[in-house]
Structure 1
């Protein structure tokens, strides 16, 4: 998903420092000097790809559909198979078109007894219409990168962590929190003929997007949840993906952005993680930040384009053929190495 408006915290900062166009504003940041990193397990891209393919095979993961239920059950089963502590957070939320979405967030904890924790966020649902598609507007689509790729990386990380002997586990606990009903939002640029029944909610600081993270932020699970920081994975599997440094991530948790991007450069993935600062977008990290978890967004934001998001975004081109194992490897290895650096 992602909606291109400024989150309140970032907007407040911009009012102090001047305005800029979040499609165009980008600044170069110097890459770091290399430092020795602790050993981390190898992220297996073939395995992550298989998890993406399995999700896609269920069909579009649109709330209120059988494919959505089956996918959620499968994801939960995988986390449990790897020995993680798993919780479900069912909820209902009204979409912008008035539909009540039967939804559930999924929380899976590795080393739940650890006092220090890092959170990996992603969303697992699919947008119900390809409203940006020039030929098949409003057709269902696979959401292979936008949704399934983040889940695929999370599942592979869980598998790898669970397979390590006690002597080789990271020094922190890791929580995988998968949000539902993230991508059923109103896009005025493509759905101007429709009525956004959540417009009043948006005027009060909410959004028709990110319904699962909004619910979680108000109803933390586990109760009183805290972690040192969070990393949101969104649109992290496409061919040619480039991960620039998103605006609110920099505003709220620049040190975490630096940590992740420096790690990427040190292990050879600076072609994917570009030292280019971009404007802010609305994504799940807006609400996890509001909940007190300093969260950055790793998301495919093209650095040299008139468009905020890549061409496949919310089109039928976001399918399994769009997934590149090299992109999955880059993101998975960087995040895994970051965790082992704690």
Structure 2
């Protein structure tokens, strides 16, 4: 009886072992069949430092030393991260006929690849605090930690990651200049014609004079005001009109990564921003990730309070990791 029982137990044991091995083999086969992403990890501390470094130069208003020094810094960082860098200089005319010594800074990765994504932000800061509650501050330039600095900071960290892990596609990063020199509130009544074209001068220039003749990209992503605490990103109206499929891709990616509280699955208002001129001038579908809703911009917008106190690492992480995931998943599509 004991001998028969032993044989039975041994048979069951061997059968269980065989089944486990087969299950293990099956699991291994399934795992190997699923494409594995090589998306790098976005370093929010690094992005925060890049924002801080810009603010340390002072307000990056065209025709100032701070602007010139920061522009040199941004170009040198892109070179350090292995990009092919173009510095596009031009004298642009502001709303009041001031000549602005402007510079668009472009960093290209895998420049020979036909499959390309465009990432962009503006790097200048507002020469006025025209939304400040204190009228005495209206003619003072702003730090632009979020409005300008945050988008550039995220893109610099993305550039650093691109230099470490090849995305397998072409990526162009553009820092547009003279975006924030539009007509101030205190002068608006002097102008009877639409003032939207007084903004985004750098992107308007680039759209007519791209750094590469006949430049094309599958789509573009604009980052504007993407670093403040409790930021929310609605689906901006112009983005939905011209790039709805890419908006949905970005917002779905953010939700899958656990960043749904930032990327709100609802339509927002429309804004005049760099993406409009890239769409119009280059016929590239673009979307704008911007902290804006139908209630307006953040409370600190175009005031003396747009400083490093508002910059939040978690927000930078949510935006940066989402964009990285979109980039590195494109090689599968």
TM-score by length of 2: 0.85
Q: Secondary structure at the match of 1:310?
A: coil
Alignment correspondent of 2:55: 56
**Contact preservation (8 Å) 2:269, 2:292:** no
Unaligned runs of 5+ in 1: 1-34
> Which residue in the other structure is 1:281 paired with?
271
Q: For residue 4 of structure 2, what is the aligned residue in structure 1? A: none
Contact 1:37 1:341 in 2 (8 A): no
Match of 1:296 among 281, 287, 294: 287
| Residues 302 and 310, structure 1, Cα contact 8 Å, conserved in 2 | no
Residue in structure 2 matched with residue 174 of structure 1 by the alignment: 171
RMSD of aligned alpha carbons: 1.7
Matches within 5 A, 1:26-65: 38-65=37-64
User: Structure 1: how far apart are the matches of 2:174 and 2:212?
Assistant: 10
Mapped to 2, the partners of 1:67 and 1:214 lie a distance apart of 23
Please list every run of at least 4 consecutive aligned residues from structure 1 whose deviation after the TM superposition is greater than 2 angstroms: 35-39, 192-196
1:245 to 218, 235, 239: 235
Where does residue 117 of structure 1 map in the other structure? 116
SS in 2 for 1:308: coil
How far apart in 2 are the matches of 1:70 and 1:96?
24
In the comparison of the two structures, how many residue pairs are matched? 294
The equivalences for 1:107-256 within 5 A come to 107-135=106-134, 136-164=137-165, 169-187=166-184, 190-192=185-187, 195-196=190-191, 202=194, 207-256=197-246
**Structure 2 residue matching 1:314: 3-state secondary structure:** coil
Q: Which residue number in structure 1 is paired with residue 16 of structure 2? A: none
Q: 2:316 aligns with which of 315, 325, 328?
A: 328
1-structure distance, mates of 2:292, 2:142: 20
Task: Please list the CA deviations of residues 94-144 of structure 1 after superposition, one character each: whole Å capped at 9, or x if unmatched.
Answer: 111221101010110011121100000110000101100012222222000
Q: Which runs of 5+ in 2 are unaligned?
A: 1-33
Question: Following the alignment from structure 1 to structure 2, what is the Cα–Cα distance between the partners of residues 170 and 194?
Answer: 49
> Which structure carries more helix by proportion?
2
Offset, 1:195: 3.3
2:197 is paired with a residue whose SS is coil
Q: CA deviation at 1:59?
A: 0.3
SS of the aligned residue for 2:190 comes to coil
CA contact (8 A) 2:243 2:285 kept: yes
- 1:163 CA drift (Å): 1.2
Alignment deviations for residues 220-251 of structure 1 (CA, whole Å, 9 cap, x no partner)? 11111000000000001111110010000000
Tell me the SS of whatever aligns to 1:341.
helix
**CA spacing shift, 1:144–1:37, aligned 2, 3 Å:** farther
Structure 1 distance, partners of 2:85, 2:325, is 24
Note the C-alpha offset of 1:61. Answer: 0.0
Structure-1-length-normalised TM-score = 0.83
Q: Show CA shifts across 1:231-285 (max 9, x none).
A: 0000011111100100000000100000000000001000100001012111001
Question: Alpha-carbon deviation of 1:93?
Answer: 1.1
Larger radius of gyration: 2
Instruction: Provide the residue aligned with 2:73 in structure 1.
Output: 74
Tell me how far 1:194 sits from its aligned partner.
6.2
